């Protein structure tokens, strides 16, 4: 997720400058068939029917939190078996502090991240953007210092918020490296809830301008109208994005060599930023609803 201001993340670098994403590259998509069980089963196969990619989990989007079923113990993607290594189903009453932190202050947009804007409700993690007077607050969680992985398949079921100035993102940063990799599983601009951006970047340690390595633009359904499954596969020589059973993007450039940690947030854009500032039509409070996060290695 690229920010419009210079920001600092002590866990990654002393001063990390973020830049807005630029115009999207042409969309890359290949629809393939896959076979999967309904969830809460011992194994699931995500084998492709063609050489172009693999089908991730499909989701009708119509049902709510918890409707995605329990996690499979293993998945097979492209003929490679991955075992469930880490997951959060958000079924409790409070955010699991052994999994997540909600206190990052270095990113993103004009809203201030506050811990009370990341909470569990009805089997979902809610990441809330709110307005008080002329000020905004945002919801943020990350696994920095708590969980990392290097290779594997990530799956997140979520409903995204819409509205001018809304800026939801599911993403990852490499814990070290110069430059270090950033993987945006998705970003969405709230004024167009039918388009998501799938991007990877590299950033220099100690601050400076980043490089957009690759970006795909996925024009899909209204991602604010229901839940969808967003998948991301990290292999040694390729990274691949999936949405609801369709491979939407892949690249062999900018692959991480060090572990990555997870981040999810609902940011509020500012004047002159990529998403732009909210206007009188923007509804507050507004939330991104996350049903689960699962990592298979």
Catalytic residues: 182, 187
Give the residues across from 247 on adjacent strands. 30, 242
CA–CA dist 159, 228 (Å, integer):
6
CA–CA dist 256, 232 (Å, integer):
13
Determine contact, residues 6/17, Cβ cutoff 8 Å: yes
Determine contact, residues 173/12, Cβ cutoff 8 Å: yes
Cα atoms found within 13 Å of the Cα of residue 114, Cβ hemisphere only: 14
Using the CB atoms, write b or e for 117-155: b if 16+ within 10 Å.
Answer: bbbbeebbbbbbbbbeeeebbbbbbbbbeebbbeebbbb
């Amino acid at each position: 997720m690229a920010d419009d201001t210079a920001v600092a993340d002590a866990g990654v670098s002393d001063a990390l400058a973020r830049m807005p994403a630029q115009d999207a590259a042409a969309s890359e998509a290949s629809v393939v068939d896959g076979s999967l069980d309904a969830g809460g089963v011992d194994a699931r196969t995500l084998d492709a029917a063609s050489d172009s990619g693999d089908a991730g989990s499909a989701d009708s989007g119509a049902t709510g939190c918890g409707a995605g079923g329990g996690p499979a113990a293993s998945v097979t993607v492209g003929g490679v078996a991955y075992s469930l290594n880490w997951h959060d189903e958000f079924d409790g009453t409070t955010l699991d502090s052994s999994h997540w932190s909600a206190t990052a202050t270095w990113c993103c947009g004009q809203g201030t991240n506050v811990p009370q804007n990341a909470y569990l409700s009805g089997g979902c993690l809610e990441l809330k953007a709110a307005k008080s007077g002329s000020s905004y607050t945002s919801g943020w969680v990350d696994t920095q210092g708590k969980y990392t992985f290097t290779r594997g398949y990530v799956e997140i079921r979520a409903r995204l918020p819409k509205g001018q100035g809304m800026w939801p993102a599911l993403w990852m940063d490499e814990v070290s490296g110069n430059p270090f990799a950033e993987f945006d599983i998705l970003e969405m601009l709230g004024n167009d809830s039918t388009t998501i951006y799938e991007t990877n970047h590299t950033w220099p340690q100690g601050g400076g301008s980043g490089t957009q390595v690759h970006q795909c633009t996925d024009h899909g359904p209204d991602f604010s109208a229901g839940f969808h499954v967003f998948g991301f596969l990290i292999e040694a020589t390729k990274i691949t994005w999936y949405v609801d059973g369709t491979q939407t993007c892949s690249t062999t450039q900018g692959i991480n060599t060090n572990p990555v940690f997870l981040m999810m947030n609902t940011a509020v854009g500012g004047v002159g930023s990529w998403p732009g500032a909210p206007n009188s039509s923007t509804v507050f409070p507004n939330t991104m609803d996350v049903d689960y996060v699962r990592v298979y290695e």
